[in-house]
A and B are shown apart, each in its own frame.
Chain A
Amino acid sequence: MTTTRRTLLGGTAGVLALPGLLRAQESPGVTASEIRIGTTYALSGPASAYSLIPKCLTAMFKRLNEQGGINGRQVNFLVYDDAYSPPKTLEQTRRLVEQDKVAFLFNNLGTPTNSAIHRYVNQRKIPHLFLATGADKWADPKGYPWTIGWQPSYRTEAQIYAKHILEQKPNARIGLLHQNDDFGKDYVNGVKDVLGARFDAMVRTASHEATDATIDSQVVSLQAAGCDALVCGIIPRFASQAIRRVFDLGWKPLMFMSNVSVSGAVVIEPAGKEKAIGLITSDYRKDQSDPSWADDPGMKEWRDFMARYIPDGELGDNNYTYAYGVGLTLLQVLRQCGNNLSRENVLKQATSLKPLELPTLLPGVTVGTSPDNYHPIRHMQLQRWDGRGWVRFGKVIEGAQV
């Protein structure tokens, strides 16, 4: 990201011009009976797989409203389609803010898309809460105090993998297979953070485009380069391909998979449960297809919710468990706000969450924030696939300290 002097000056000027506008209405988007919350998601186009998240959130607000809402107010959740195109995100966000007059924005999808509105929402002082992206840049309380992420960053995850590799195989030759976009590049950055000057000597990278048919060529290249560790920052469809191809080649690297792509039902089973044995990831969520959570009260709560409100939803898809977690986080914020739903107070409560355990997160993983800590989830735990489910090992790692 490039922030020049002009950018900052422009930002300040915008902020100075606005207070008059804001004071006209005390708490935008809030009436005695309603609070209006907005988000932007890809509901059309290639990224529309994520549309399950707002679907789940909408159902959660429906449940809340049926139970009487929050402090007597019904939540009105507006979801607009940006087709994962940053210009459209700005347009839809401006519609939410200027036309629909939402109180705040919640869980907007994507890194490039949120980048396009980052400055706009901060100039206008609109809370931009718990974004659906694992980029690192959202935790910037000084520069952009109104924006906060939610999930642990991909970069931190990659740092954990790199550290683990150095512990296990100090002289490893690391293959880094990543998607050629902001998501995949964060894995490169994370590994670079840990290896520093040794990166060029130790790491071979191979990237692929989201539109590629297969990643065979990349896997073959990394194997031919003699790598004995493999870090993958790729999405589910390619993850299944990679797991299967690595196994079929008889290549046995120490293999790490982005926690975006570790669902037992969606990724591992298609590749073959036995082919993934030894695969390592570091997650913060419970995998709903893992039999060891069958009787877990938290997951039971989630399953009951799904059965009641999204009966046609595919239970294997972990977008639903993600959404349930982030939705509950927001409900906690709203509860803390009490009757004061001004933008200032919403932000204040969102950035002072006491460590909170959520039913869909691993034991020991909590959500917590403070005015100078904008990483709501910092914990992850390494886990290894044993052929049937994920087995956690080592202690819960606090990512920000890696």
Chain B
Amino acid sequence: MSASKGLPADIAIPESTARVGTPAWQRAVWVVLGIAVAAAPIFVLESFHLFQLTMAVIMALAVLGLNIVTGYNGQISLGHGAFFAVGAYCTAIFMSHYDWSFWATLPISAAVCAALGFAIGFPALRLAGHYLALTTFSLAVAVPQILKHKSIEDWTGGVQGLFLVKPDAPAGLPLSADQWMYVVTVIVAGACFLLVSNLIRSRIGRALMATRDHPTAAEAMGMDIGSLKTRAFAVSAMITGIAGSLSAVAIEFVAPDSFSFGVSISLFVGMVVGGVASVLGSLFGGLFVLFVPNIAEAISKAAPGVIYGVILIAFLFLLPDGFAGLLRRVAARLRR
């Protein structure tokens, strides 16, 4: 990683300009199609695969959060696992100690993570490149330590963690707990994806990318870089935190060991293979980090970690700009 250079400037622009002229009815068709694709697994997959898919969508949402700050805004973060953990613990604490419903805990974990992200955004104003990578990585290492500290053990359950229960499907809906969990995840994630893709296509989104590519020029044009960067961190942390909340209920258990720095690394890998600064790429990234380790394991039981590393590098050799880069190239060819 380089200390001062941002990303090549042309990366996300094609997507943001291409959709400007899309008529409303076409967008409606896309939305309907999206809902159909998202709903199909409920009827097609058995519960284990549905559970896997739920986890993949959760990871995708977390990757999306990371993408906002690192992909679109160019501030490298190796510590988004920390926000994932905080979101998960917020939900777990309120559900297991105070019997809150899952839905009620969502705004709280979103708010807490946004506030935490905002706070982390401040040192990020002065630190860039490696220094920011260290700061965020430190956060990822520190959060599990803090979570198991004895002073808050009564809330967090210390090293033993906390147990909670998946929400049941509302009476009248003939869905199993796994199916309902998938529906919940898709609704929450879908809303976040929509929110983010609108945000990215708005004035704010363009300002984010301008700050990433030409900070000084952006400032000269009157953008408040400080507030943009800290707010990008806040939104990013919020989205990843919401993903954490979902993961807590889907697993029905949180413990410090669930949030080692490996989670941050996974999210980063998901972002890179999906495609930096791409909303759709995040979805692919989530699928990648959930399913590829299983593929690696199927190839070799002796050293699945080695195989996973090889697949990752091979993938990046073939598609250095990730899955989204491939999509863009295909789209460009079709349009020609």
Contacts and interface: CB of A to CB of B under 8 A. Distances in A.
Contacts of A192: none
Interface in A159-218: 180-182, 185, 209, 211
Contacts of B252: 116, 119-120
B138 interface: no
A44 interface: yes
Interface stretch (B118-126, B253-261, B310-318): B253-261
A180 B297 contact: no
A86 interface: yes
Nearest to B141: A211
Interface in A122-136: none
B145 A115 contact: no
Nearest to B51: A94
A378 to B, nearest CB: 23
B48 A80 contact: no
Contact of A45 (B52, B99, B262): B262
Interface SS of chain B: helix, strand, loop or mixed? helix
A95 B163 contact: no
A297 interface: no
A386 interface: no
A115 B159 CA distance: 11
Q: Which bucket holds chain B's interface residue count?
A: 35 or more
Contact of A7 (B148, B161, B165, B297): B165
Contact of B305 (A44, A80, A111, A211): A44
A43 B51 contact: no
Nearest to A182: B159
Interface in B229-288: 247, 251-253, 255-258, 260, 262
Contact of B157 (A1, A81, A116, A211): A1
B304 A43 contact: yes
A273 B160 CA distance: 36
B47 interface: yes
A80 B160 contact: no
B158 interface: yes
A2 B162 contact: yes
B161 A115 contact: yes
A10 B258 contact: no
Contacts of B141: 211
B308 interface: yes
A235 interface: no
Interface string A1-20: 11111110010001000000
B145 A44 contact: no
A8 to B, nearest CB: 10
A3 B163 contact: yes
Q: Which bucket holds chain A's interface residue count?
A: 35 or more
B96 A115 contact: no
A204 to B, nearest CB: 14
Contacts of A185: 158-159
Contact of B161 (A4, A48, A91, A112): A112
Contacts of A99: 48
Given A90-B251, A112-B161, A185-B159, A81 B52 contact: no
Contacts of A6: 96, 99, 165
A394 to B, nearest CB: 31
A41 to B, nearest CB: 10
A35 to B, nearest CB: 20
Contact of B297 (A43, A85, A112): A43
Contacts of A4: 96-97, 99, 163
Contacts of B18: none
Nearest to B47: A98
B253 A115 contact: yes
B333 interface: no
Contact of B51 (A45, A91, A112): A91
B303 interface: yes
A258 to B, nearest CB: 16
B157 A2 contact: yes
Given A2-B162, A4-B96, A87 B304 contact: no
Give the 6 A-B CB pairs with smallest separation, nearest first: A44-B305, A98-B48, A112-B257, A10-B165, A112-B255, A182-B159
Given A7-B96, A43-B301, A98-B48, 6 more contacts: A81-B301, A86-B161, A87-B55, A90-B253, A98-B46, A112-B256
23 contacts: A4-B96, A4-B97, A4-B99, A7-B96, A43-B304, A44-B303, A44-B304, A44-B308, A45-B305, A48-B305, A79-B301, A84-B257, A85-B258, A86-B253, A112-B256, A115-B160, A120-B252, A181-B148, A181-B257, A182-B159, A185-B158, A185-B159, A209-B145
Interface of B: 46-48, 51-52, 55, 96-97, 99, 141, 145, 148, 157-166, 177, 247, 251-253, 255-258, 260, 262, 293, 297, 301-305, 308
Interface of A: 1-7, 10, 14, 43-45, 48, 79-81, 83-88, 90-91, 94-95, 98-99, 110-113, 115-116, 119-120, 137, 180-182, 185, 209, 211
